[in-house]
A and B are shown apart, each in its own frame.
Chain A
Amino acid sequence: MSWKTHLSGTTIVPRPQVQLCTPAMKERWQRELLPRYATSHGALMPILHDVQHAYRHIPYAAMLEIAAFLKLAPSEVLDTVSFYEEYTTEPVGRCVIGICQTFACEICGHKAILDHVRARLGIDVHETTDDGMFTLLAMECLGSCDSAPVALFNDTLHERLTIERVDRLIDEARASVGHSQVVHS
């Protein structure tokens, strides 16, 4: 729900001495992203993707740095961050499990899988495990209705899920987090 409001009047923005947006990152943005767009604002979304990927969330301090880099108001950066679901202001788990809950997946049994993952990880939807390993999300249509039920494990889509496969995927994710490709079953 992109329009949910949060009380922000008392938010304390930590300002660490270390630079979150490293010179290497900024150099790449300057070289690759800025020339693509007519305004510096245009490069904001790809930059946020970068930061989200690097820190698993977008710290407020990083927003200040990005705003300075793009010559925007920090509020403009926060505006974009708070609107899109893929950007988070709190760290997500190393493995984000996004289970599709739209009707094509619902009629093919997403509920059993969602409940199983919930019970196995001991967390509810939109929560992260205490060890920071998993975040569970219930997502809207992932555009793979022909192979329902589906789920995203980080950026890899897994199709035709069963409880056994989800269990295996969770075990694999524990062992290693990363690589991505579509796994056609």
Chain B
Amino acid sequence: MKLPEPILTKRIPCHPHADPKGRHIVSYDEFVKTGGYRALEKALDLEPAQVLATVKDAVLRGRGGAGFPAGLKWSFLAPDDGKGSRYLCINCDEAEPGTFKDRLLVDFDPHLVLEGIAITCFACKLDVAYFFIRGEYHHQARVMERAIEEAYAAGIFGKQGLMRGKAKFAVECHVHRGAGAYICGEETGLLEAIEGKRGWPRVKPPFPAVKGLFGRPTIVNNVETLAAVPPIIERGVAWWKSIGVESSFGGMASYGPKLMGVSGHVNRPGCFEAPLGITLSSLVNDYAGGMRQGKKFKGAIAGGVSMGVLGTDQFDAVMDFDIGRRCGVLGLGTACPTIFDEDTDMVAIARNCARFFMNESCGQCTPCREGSGWIYKLLTRIERGDATTADLDLLVEVAGSMGLSEGTTICGLADGNNWAVRTIVTKFRSEFERRVKPKFVPIHLVAR
């Protein structure tokens, strides 16, 4: 399964369509020469409601992890009461381990994202856009700042109105740099960070579409989601729906291309654009050059560590939004799998994941704050060989008790910890059992 032509990576050479050696930052002039900002022009000829309806009809599912349809999210916006700004926040926090897809877009084709931002602001009547980028992306923040300057100079943004005043509606766009906190990738944590506070997620409802940044209606979207908006506007809903797959459970379909970053034990790790519905084995063999040193596949992080792991028998897993139900993971996530070969120590991987969540828990909810440290300690003990089988059961119990789905935390960070640890332990249980000592119960207690 291969895309007939690159869509999001039209200007970024990627395997298998082109050689990545030719990558460079696409400037405003080059972007316009290669058909850029045409979709914005087309959108400005329509009514905002028509643009919104197009994106809604296309079932553009969010690319940030949850897969919530962008058009539907936009339609939840509170009506404009004229009492102040309405905001668009672009989530480029990309701190999910294993994920590096938004970086590709921002690194080389920032104007594609800006075009998506302009169209979204027009469709939803949002007048200020904040591009939230994680603190560690220094170079990318500078690239984006320069691109925004170019866009202002070319009259895309600014007081005169979108597209040199073609629309009366004016949009301001700013970069806001994070400062090294994974939790700011959670949409309400991100809002807190832009407000200058600690990135503690808010209790929902009210949802950001009603009461978000500075108490005003706000839309938070991922970079890749916004980058997919211009192609949809330019080429239409029918074309978008011709890529991807229908849901095998009769649920919401997975349409469109998706950036998938493959890392780990493969010959040619990198970010590729593939249609949703591709199998993991095809992604590894046809795009990433196969397993390194011809070794066997052992497992994979499904799509960002929070989604859990795929087992040895799930190499042919279909990468679409149904993967969660089909393969016993949380979901598709960011669709950036990390591949492990047969020599990988899964206990060490579990310990590494647990350390990540312990370091990145924001400390707001007790089950996550305390549980993540507890899990890490249990896993280091198991790795050292000092634990008993009872510890293994305790590990699964602690992990399974925290998260949004268990109703014990405010945000989904703990669910990530929960799923990562539980899926590794269930799918590779024998490896864990080999590392733990049996728990002996004194016989006189049993006899009684």
Q: A85-B179, A106-B348 given as contacts; is B137 within 8 A of A143 (CB)? A: yes
Residue in B100, B136, B199, B353 with the greatest tally of chain A CB atoms within 10 Å: B136
B263 CB contact (under 8 Å) in A42, A85, A101, A148:
A148
B97 CB contact (under 8 Å) in A39, A45, A79, A103:
A103
Bound complex: CA of A48 vs CA of B214, how far in Å? 20
Is there a chain B Cβ closer than 8 Å to A49's Cβ?
yes
Choose the segment among B65-73, B242-250, B322-330, B358-366 that binds chain A (4+ C-beta atoms closer than 8 Å).
B358-366
Choose the segment among B47-55, B74-82, B190-198 that binds chain A (4+ C-beta atoms closer than 8 Å).
B190-198
Bound complex: CA of A17 vs CA of B103, how far in Å? 44
Bound complex: CA of A44 vs CA of B197, how far in Å? 8
Report whether B97 and A102 are in contact in the complex, using a CB–CB cutoff of 8 Å: yes
Bound complex: CA of A169 vs CA of B98, how far in Å? 25
B95 CB contact (under 8 Å) in A1, A38, A143, A152:
A143
In the complex, chain B residues 247-284 whose Cβ is within 8 Å of any chain A Cβ: 261-265, 269-271
Report whether A80 and B197 are in contact in the complex, using a CB–CB cutoff of 8 Å: yes
| Number of chain A interface residues as a range | 35 or more
Report whether B179 and A84 are in contact in the complex, using a CB–CB cutoff of 8 Å: yes
Report whether A87 and B179 are in contact in the complex, using a CB–CB cutoff of 8 Å: yes
- Distance in angstroms from B345 CB to nearest chain A CB is 9
Residues of A contacting B172 in the complex (Cβ-Cβ under 8 angstroms): 36
Bound complex: CA of A145 vs CA of B301, how far in Å? 12
Report whether B352 and A102 are in contact in the complex, using a CB–CB cutoff of 8 Å: yes
Choose the segment among A6-14, A23-31, A113-121, A134-142 that binds chain B (4+ C-beta atoms closer than 8 Å).
A134-142
Report whether B136 and A152 are in contact in the complex, using a CB–CB cutoff of 8 Å: yes
Residues of B contacting A144 in the complex (Cβ-Cβ under 8 angstroms): 100, 103
Residues of A contacting B338 in the complex (Cβ-Cβ under 8 angstroms): 103-104, 107, 145
Is there a chain B Cβ closer than 8 Å to A46's Cβ?
yes
Residues of B contacting A148 in the complex (Cβ-Cβ under 8 angstroms): 263, 269
Bound complex: CA of A36 vs CA of B135, how far in Å? 19
Name A38's closest neighbour in chain B (CB-CB): B214
- Distance in angstroms from B303 CB to nearest chain A CB is 12
Bound complex: CA of A86 vs CA of B177, how far in Å? 11
Report whether B264 and A107 are in contact in the complex, using a CB–CB cutoff of 8 Å: yes
Is there a chain A Cβ closer than 8 Å to B210's Cβ?
no
Bound complex: CA of A13 vs CA of B120, how far in Å? 47
Report whether B99 and A143 are in contact in the complex, using a CB–CB cutoff of 8 Å: yes
Contact with A along B162-198 (1 / 0, CB 8 A): 0000000000101011111111000000000111111
Q: A102-B352, A143-B99 given as contacts; is B107 within 8 A of A182 (CB)? A: yes
- Distance in angstroms from B107 CB to nearest chain A CB is 7
B352 CB contact (under 8 Å) in A1, A86, A103, A156:
A103
Name A1's closest neighbour in chain B (CB-CB): B359
A42 CB contact (under 8 Å) in B195, B305, B348:
B195
Residues of B contacting A139 in the complex (Cβ-Cβ under 8 angstroms): 136, 180
Is there a chain B Cβ closer than 8 Å to A22's Cβ?
no
Is there a chain A Cβ closer than 8 Å to B85's Cβ?
yes
Name B137's closest neighbour in chain A (CB-CB): A143
Bound complex: CA of A84 vs CA of B93, how far in Å? 14
Report whether A146 and B359 are in contact in the complex, using a CB–CB cutoff of 8 Å: no
Name B180's closest neighbour in chain A (CB-CB): A85
Is there a chain A Cβ closer than 8 Å to B207's Cβ?
no
Name A106's closest neighbour in chain B (CB-CB): B352
Is there a chain B Cβ closer than 8 Å to A185's Cβ?
no
A46 CB contact (under 8 Å) in B176, B264, B305, B358:
B176
Is there a chain A Cβ closer than 8 Å to B396's Cβ?
no
Report whether B305 and A140 are in contact in the complex, using a CB–CB cutoff of 8 Å: no
Residues of B contacting A42 in the complex (Cβ-Cβ under 8 angstroms): 194-196, 214
Residues of B contacting A41 in the complex (Cβ-Cβ under 8 angstroms): 195-197
Is there a chain B Cβ closer than 8 Å to A19's Cβ?
no
Report whether B181 and A2 are in contact in the complex, using a CB–CB cutoff of 8 Å: yes
Is there a chain A Cβ closer than 8 Å to B26's Cβ?
no
Report whether A39 and B195 are in contact in the complex, using a CB–CB cutoff of 8 Å: yes
Q: A36-B174, A49-B179, A157-B139 given as contacts; is B263 within 8 A of A44 (CB)? A: no
A145 CB contact (under 8 Å) in B134, B213, B263:
B263
Residues of A contacting B355 in the complex (Cβ-Cβ under 8 angstroms): 101
Report whether B196 and A80 are in contact in the complex, using a CB–CB cutoff of 8 Å: yes
Residues of B contacting A1 in the complex (Cβ-Cβ under 8 angstroms): 358-359, 361
Report whether A143 and B179 are in contact in the complex, using a CB–CB cutoff of 8 Å: no
Contact with A along B101-140 (1 / 0, CB 8 A): 0010001000000000000000000000000001111110
Bound complex: CA of A145 vs CA of B96, how far in Å? 11
Report whether B179 and A45 are in contact in the complex, using a CB–CB cutoff of 8 Å: yes
Is there a chain B Cβ closer than 8 Å to A155's Cβ?
yes
B362 CB contact (under 8 Å) in A3, A44, A103, A152:
A3
Residues of B contacting A107 in the complex (Cβ-Cβ under 8 angstroms): 264-265, 338, 340, 344, 349
Residues of A contacting B360 in the complex (Cβ-Cβ under 8 angstroms): 140
B181 CB contact (under 8 Å) in A84, A101, A146:
A84
Name A152's closest neighbour in chain B (CB-CB): B136
Is there a chain A Cβ closer than 8 Å to B356's Cβ?
yes
Report whether B139 and A85 are in contact in the complex, using a CB–CB cutoff of 8 Å: no
Bound complex: CA of A3 vs CA of B181, how far in Å? 11
Is there a chain B Cβ closer than 8 Å to A43's Cβ?
yes
Further contacts, 4 of them, CB under 8 A, given A84-B198, A103-B98, A144-B100: A38-B213, A142-B136, A148-B263, A156-B139
In the complex, 16 of the A-B residue pairs with CB atoms within 8 angstroms, ordered by the A residue number, are A1-B359, A2-B181, A2-B363, A38-B85, A38-B216, A39-B214, A84-B181, A103-B301, A103-B352, A108-B264, A140-B360, A145-B100, A145-B261, A146-B100, A146-B271, A182-B139
- Cβ-closest 7 pairs across A and B: A3-B363, A155-B138, A44-B196, A84-B179, A145-B263, A83-B198, A85-B180
Please report A residues at the B interface, Cβ cutoff 8 Å.
1-3, 36-39, 41-46, 48-49, 76, 79-80, 83-87, 98, 101-104, 106-108, 139-148, 152, 155-157, 180-182
